[in-house]
Amino acid sequence: MTKKIAVFVGSLRKESFNRKMAKVLTTLAPESLLFEIIEIGGLPLYDQDYDDGGKPPPAWTVFRERVKSFDGFLFVTPEYNRSVPGVLKNALDVGSRPYGQSVWGGKPGAVISVSPGAIGGFGANHHLRQSLVFLDVPTMQQPEAYIGGAAELFDANGNITNETTREFLKRFMDAFTGWVAKNSSKNL
């Protein structure tokens, strides 16, 4: 059975290394996973007053309903100031509310951080994992994926130019496929 995986890219930049990476990752996974990038840049900032008043912005409602329909999550993020970008944190917050109605809980996930820097977004990767623990997203522990030197990884068409990195990413996606199967309410 095919599992639907929502992909969240933490960068809004048009030529984002993380968006390029997300696209590459979706081509490396087995056909048992069907990926869709969920755009998060248009979500209004979370403000509990809207939920308390019973009038959440329509974009929140659409986002929440859409995310509920997925079987798992793949987060591809840069590091901003040793943490996750605000747009990604906002998406987590919007999906986790109103209290008791989180769209995240119990669905398997994985995190990969991508950066032009040498440490590959280590801080963002771990901050995101902390939030996912609280949100009850069983997050794949191994292999960890911190991809540095991103400015040299892609050709003009967004393909990975380094074969060693490509092989690692394939292993990552194979492990993620197994993780989804093991942690999904419905086996693949």
CATH number reported for the structural domain that contains residue 44 in this entry = 3.40.50.360
Number of domains in the chain: 1
pLDDT in the model for residue 187:
43
pLDDT in the model for residue 119:
87
> What mean pLDDT comes out for the span 129-142?
97
**Is position 188 within any domain?**
no
Sequence-distant (6+) residues with CB within 8 A of 123 are 79, 82, 83
The residues pairing with 146 across neighbouring beta strands, listed in sequence order, are 113
> What mean pLDDT comes out for the span 85-97?
98
Inform me whether the pLDDT recorded for 140 exceeds 90. yes
Instruction: Kindly report whether the global pTM for this prediction surpasses the value 0.85.
Output: yes
**Is position 30 within any domain?**
yes
> What mean pLDDT comes out for the span 108-130?
95
Summarised one tens digit per residue, pLDDT across range 21-41 is 999 999 999 999 999 999 999
Alpha-carbon distance values, 19 to 1, 46, 57, 149, 158 (Å): 27, 24, 26, 15, 9
Percent of the chain with pLDDT over 70: 98
Average pLDDT value for the chain: 95
Domain of 78, in residue numbers = 3-183
**Is position 93 within any domain?**
yes
pLDDT in the model for residue 12:
96
**Is position 9 within any domain?**
yes
> What mean pLDDT comes out for the span 105-134?
95
pLDDT in the model for residue 1:
84
**Is position 161 within any domain?**
yes
Q: Is 164 within 8 Å of 158 (Cβ atoms)?
A: no
> What mean pLDDT comes out for the span 46-50?
97
The residues pairing with 160 across neighbouring beta strands, listed in sequence order, are 154
Sequence-distant (6+) residues with CB within 8 A of 104 are 67, 73, 92, 95, 96, 132, 135, 136, 137
pLDDT in the model for residue 188:
40
Q: Given pLDDT bands bounded at 50, 70 and 90, which one contains residue 148?
A: very high
**Is position 134 within any domain?**
yes
> What mean pLDDT comes out for the span 156-182?
96
- In a 13 Å sphere around the CA of 20, the CA atoms on its Cβ side amount to 22
